[in-house]
Amino acid sequence: MLSPKKPRYRKQMKQLRHLRGVETRGCTLEFGDYGLKAIEAGWITNRQIEAARVAMTRHAKRGGRVWIRIFPDKPLTSKPAETRMGKGKGSPEKWVAEVRAGRIMYEITGVSEKVARAALERAASKLPVKTRIVVRRSTIL
């Protein structure tokens, strides 16, 4: 599972207003020929990121190359079940990546377009946000 090696702070505030608006960084294909782009904002856990990666690589039969462009660096805390109110904040339970609309989350190259589209559709089914498949178009005149 993805998680930071040495976070500066163990606990963070939720800060849901960070997910408003459209992403300005990480919006273009940088490495691969096909990508999975988020078209709505949300939190994606490290388990969901890994499940989508596994689905992609298995469908491509471990061919090609896959890049993960998001990283879960935000801790989410929760208190145990049936615990009374108070007594401080709960312990960190999982890590999430904050994804805004327009962010490229995965890229793949080295496989045919048919295989890449099918692999990205499988990855999209594992994620809690709406996505779109984007393709790098060569500009040969």
CATH code of 116's domain: 3.90.1170.10
Structural domain harbouring 64: 27-135
Amino acid, single-letter form, for residue 66? V
Across residues 51-78, what is the average pLDDT? 95
In a domain, 2, yes or no: no
The 3 state secondary structure assigned to 18-75 is HHCCECCCCCCCCCCCEEEEECCCEEEEHHHHHHHHHHHHHHCCCCCEEEECCCCCEE
In a domain, 14, yes or no: no
- Over residues 27-54, the pLDDT tens digits come to 999 999 999 999 999 999 999 999 999 9
In a domain, 126, yes or no: yes
| Domain total of the chain | 1
In a domain, 19, yes or no: no
- Over residues 81-102, the pLDDT tens digits come to 999 999 999 999 999 999 999 9
In a domain, 84, yes or no: yes
In a domain, 33, yes or no: yes
In a domain, 141, yes or no: no
